[in-house]
A and B are shown apart, each in its own frame.
Chain A
Amino acid sequence: MDRHLSLGIFLLVFGGITTTVSLFIGVTPTLALGLATLLIGIMTLYLPEPTESLAERLASDSSVPALLNIENLLDDLSLNEKGVYIPAAGLEVCPKVFVPLSQTRLSRRPPRDLNNSRRVFITLDEKTREGGILLEAPGRNLLSELELYLRLDFAKVDVNDLHEKLESGLKLLEVSKSIALERQTDQTLTFQTELTAFGNLEVKLSNLTPHVFDQIGGPVSSAIAAAVSKSTGEYVAFRQVSINPTDKKITATIEFVR
């Protein structure tokens, strides 16, 4: 139980009993003591925010300008296609995201060795000038932390165990309360997760950087997509991703690009 909750309940009960007894015996100082305890109990239960601390929020908010730059880049280059997560393997290795200029057979499944590239502007075919931009996944570091805490490489995780591993990892890092992962068809997989951390950041990103959020995903959805790509060894892209600002629940559909 949350320490504020347990302390608040204790103070409420103690204050309530002291106030009631004092009312009967008619002693004002103890009555005041009971009321003070009652008031502090109410404050202890009411005031604390269950979400991240200010320092945590500032730390996560510091990533917003970087994603705003990507948003401007996508906008400026009129890149409207979904980003494709290129499957990767290895502990703490995160798939990179390729956002193509246009959807072609080649750009839908760019070469896997692009994961080793440090270039941003990629030309896949010199003749047709087919290409796009290659980005680090917004959830790169979150995926690395997940792998470090779980001490496993998602590329070695069986698809059937992916849900369990993701749920335990995200809970361990206090990122989300739970995750529902369901493979709907052979082509798609949906997930829903209620965030405990990153919730405000994800909502902010969905408003400030709608292209990034929709085409590549926010940190959490991106980390999950990257984990799916690693585990299945498939190219994946978001078909749809959204967040409910009230309960901070992310719902997304991932498409396997074949």
Chain B
Amino acid sequence: MRTIDSFLITYAALAFTSVITLSLTGVETLDVYIALFAILFFVAAELTPLSPMGSRKKVILETALVAIFVVTVAERVVQVLR
């Protein structure tokens, strides 16, 4: 199996497991899910490293997900501080 396929399967398993777990624990805020999706990308990338050929695209996706994570967390911090 190609590394990209292993990565996608790992990420999908982690993402869907987290959605089921969070929904069972009664989490109703979307930003928690989104922040977790961003974190899980890095977890999946560590578990099944992408080939060097896919690394450039991976960096772009990582940057986008970090930005989403920062915005989500910052929004929540602002809400708490108000």
Also in contact, A43 and B16, with CB within 8 A (given A32-B23, A35-B33, A49-B53)? no
> Is A47 a contact of B15 with CB atoms below 8 Å?
no
Q: Chain B interface secondary structure, helix, strand, loop or mixed?
A: helix
A28 contact set on B, CB distance < 8 A: 23, 27-30, 33
Which of A51-59, A168-176, A235-243 interfaces with chain B?
A51-59
The answer to whether the Cβ of B71 comes within 8 Å of any Cβ in the partner chain is no
> Is B16 a contact of A35 with CB atoms below 8 Å?
no
Also in contact, A54 and B57, with CB within 8 A (given A28-B28, A31-B30, A47-B7)? no
**Residue in A4, A31, A32, A51 with the greatest tally of chain B CB atoms within 10 Å:** A32
Interface residues of A, count at CB 8 A: 20
The answer to whether the Cβ of A44 comes within 8 Å of any Cβ in the partner chain is yes
> Is A35 a contact of B34 with CB atoms below 8 Å?
yes
> Is A47 a contact of B29 with CB atoms below 8 Å?
no
The answer to whether the Cβ of B11 comes within 8 Å of any Cβ in the partner chain is yes
Q: List 10 A-B contacts (CB under 8 A).
A: A32-B19, A32-B22, A32-B23, A36-B33, A39-B37, A40-B15, A44-B8, A47-B57, A47-B61, A51-B53
**Chain B residues within 8 Å of A, Cβ to Cβ:** 2-4, 7-8, 11-12, 15-16, 19, 22-23, 27-30, 33-34, 37, 50-54, 57-58, 61
